[in-house]
Structure 1
Amino acid sequence: MSRTIAIGDIHGGLKALIQLLERINISPEDQLIFLGDYVDGWSDSANVVSYLIRLSENVDCIFIRGNHDDLAHQWLETGKMNDQWLQHGGRATLEAYRKFKDEEIEQHLEFYRNMKNYHVDNSNRLFVHAGFTNLHGPEREYHDTGFYWDRTLWETAVSLNPEMENSHHFYPKRLQLFEEIFIGHTPVTRIGEEEPVQKANVWNVDTGAAFKGKLSAIEVKSKKIWQSEPVYQLYRGESGRN
């Protein structure tokens, strides 16, 4: 039986990703939707991209663009970098790519270029790294950067009164557009959680793999959750994005 599985922010934690996929026991019938931020953090940032490229040859994969992926892509294409990127995990990505040959980097550039800003499935579920702001939906968004930088969608879902019906005239219109929304970008550890969290109809699958948390996945129909070990325990001697 085929499954659709959303996977949270990886941040260079290839060891955790391999462990997670083994626990999921993926098959060619599954569809994997990666919610972005493949790089910046742990030392395997570039290796994560190589692994995902190979994985997509045998498994149906959708790769959503994260803000860290966009920053790494800009650097690979133009050499552009900034101190903020370097201080928030970019240095690990920069160092990882120093070992790569030109043809390998070109292959990775194709991966970055082909990432999607968002994906909507046949059941009207939205998959996006951060969110969107336009009340008419992501297809009407004014700037692509909102898809992988904006936090207001999650902030809105967290602050919403859980007793409010989605038919209420004050219910956020963005949340009414989709059956469910799956995001990453903002670690749920910030609200004291360790597993993917649902607020309103928004599922946040970022469980802090870049810091002290685990890498997580969720089957979108059954809501079955899988997790790796805490990623920092797999990369002893490294600091990740701490």
Structure 2
Amino acid sequence: MMNRTIVIGDLHGCFEEALDLLDRIGPSKDDRIIFAGDLVDRGPMPRACVELAMQYECVLGNHEEKHVQQRKRPLRDLLPDHARTRAELGDEHLSYFASLPLTIALPEHGAVVAHAGAFPGVAMTEQDRYHLLHVQCVRPPERKSFWPSKAPVGYSFWATQWAGPERVIFGHTVLDKPFVGEHAVGLDTGCAHGGPLTAIVLPDWKLVSVHSRQPRTKTARVAAYEVMPGVRCFS
């Protein structure tokens, strides 16, 4: 069997679901496993998620970046969710976050993994850090990015504007179902909010998901912003 590349969406502390997903996919020792960032916060087992990802590959997510930026701040000054995560993490985990790449290229599949996505019309080699970690709704050539709920008229989701050539595999934006476009695939289906945990398996581009073990939150029940026909996001 051909070696596979398995890209897994945002874990956000959902370690047991990650094990469920890997069990369903059944990776061999020769398969490549990549996490799309945002391993921590929200869910119940952030440290276990980090230590799982440390065995494989991972791109930097905005939540990992935030913990690196705040590493010298006392816990009392952090948001409660971030403080709970930080209390579980050691210096070795924060150093690991600081070492993570912003992208992982998969030229054999014509693809690249980036946590949030990419700014349309800019080559992947020239993308800035902010957009790789945070991009959502944009209106090129303006470089601002907005949450869907805050986006002015004329702004739309970056992945509907991205024309390649790479197919970007991303997380970050919580969707009610995977985003599957010609040039982009979105995998964050909100496991920490009670939605599925989703992966894509290459070279077949097969989506695989498992049910969340987390309680379904109000956020997961109401997806108000359509990012492409039939796919909505939470914002």
Q: Which runs of 5+ in 1 are unaligned?
A: 159-171
Could you tell me how far 1:106 is from its partner in structure 2? 2.1
Corresponding residue of 1:157: 159
Give the AA of the match of 2:159: A
Give the AA of the match of 2:175: V
The CA deviation string for residues 123-172 of structure 1, in whole angstroms up to 9 with x for no partner, is: 3311101122262312212x3121111113781434xxxxxxxxxxxxx5
Please say if residues 42 and 240 of structure 1, whose CA atoms lie closer than 8 Å, have aligned partners that are also in contact.
no
Q: Which runs of 5+ in 2 are unaligned?
A: 139-155, 221-235
SS at match of 1:226: strand
Task: Report runs of 4+ in structure 1 exceeding 3 Å deviation.
Answer: 80-83, 239-242
SS at match of 2:168: strand
Could you tell me how far 1:34 is from its partner in structure 2? 0.8
State how far apart, in whole Å, the 1-side matches of 2:12 and 2:218 are. 8
Alignment of 1:134-153 (within 5 A): 135-141=121-127, 143-152=128-137
Please say if residues 117 and 158 of structure 2, whose CA atoms lie closer than 8 Å, have aligned partners that are also in contact.
no
User: Relative to 1, partners in 2 of residues 1:218 and 1:134: Cα closer, same or farther, differing over 3 Å?
Assistant: closer
Percent identity between matched residues is 24
Q: Does 1:70 align with 2:52?
A: no
State how far apart, in whole Å, the 2-side matches of 1:82 and 1:131 are. 32
Corresponding residue of 1:187: 174
TM (normalized to structure 2)?
A: 0.75
Q: What's the Cα RMSD here?
A: 2.7
Corresponding residue of 1:116: 101
State how far apart, in whole Å, the 1-side matches of 2:41 and 2:107 are. 32
Corresponding residue of 1:92: 81
**How many pairs does the alignment contain?**
201
TM (normalized to structure 1)?
A: 0.73
State how far apart, in whole Å, the 1-side matches of 2:203 and 2:95 are. 31
Alignment of 1:220-239 (within 5 A): 220-233=202-215
Which structure is higher in strand share? 2
Please say if residues 125 and 181 of structure 1, whose CA atoms lie closer than 8 Å, have aligned partners that are also in contact.
yes
Bigger RCO of structures 1 and 2 (CA < 8 A, at least 6 apart): 1
Match among 46, 55, 73 for residue 79 of structure 1: 73
Corresponding residue of 2:232: none
Please say if residues 12 and 48 of structure 1, whose CA atoms lie closer than 8 Å, have aligned partners that are also in contact.
yes
State how far apart, in whole Å, the 1-side matches of 2:159 and 2:85 are. 36
